[in-house]
Structures are given as structure tokens and as C-alpha cells.
Amino acid sequence: MIETQLDVDASGLMCPLPLLRLKKALMEISSGHIIKITTTDPAAHLDFGVYCHQAGHQIIDFIKQPHGVIFYVQKK
């Protein structure tokens, strides 16, 4: 189990809202901490991947579920 400092539910939101929720959440935590973000947006993995690569954050893990995906993102 991954220990998270903040859980964000972006279920039901479509691009770009899940990414905006992730960015806002990252501003609320300290470097090294992890966010758990749940989304149903099928394009979220692309948006999160590009953003994290550009900003230096790391997607620790992601879990596909029947109704969406849970991402674990560590702030740089």
C-alpha cells in the first residue's frame, strides 16, 4: 500500500479538469509527498504523463479499475 498525503477525486471530469485538479493538489503538498488521484477520463494517463515528465514529478503507480484509474503521483 502506498502512503499518500492527499487524495483527489476527479471522477466524472473530462480533460483538462483532472489535470488541473492534479496541478492544484501538487501545490498543496511538500516535495517528496504523494497524491492519490482517481479519474474516469480516458485521456488522463496521457495528460498526467506529459505534465509529470515536463514538471519533474513522478507517477509512482497506476491501477486500472472497471470505472477509471487511480494514479499515485510523487511531487519532485
Which are the catalytic amino acids? 15
- HSE (CB half, 13 Å, CA atoms) of 37? 27
Q: Is 58 helix (H, G, I), strand (E, B) or coil?
A: strand
What's the CA gap between 62 and 47, in Å, rounded?
Answer: 14
**To 10 degrees, what angle do helices 44-55 and 17-28 make?**
40
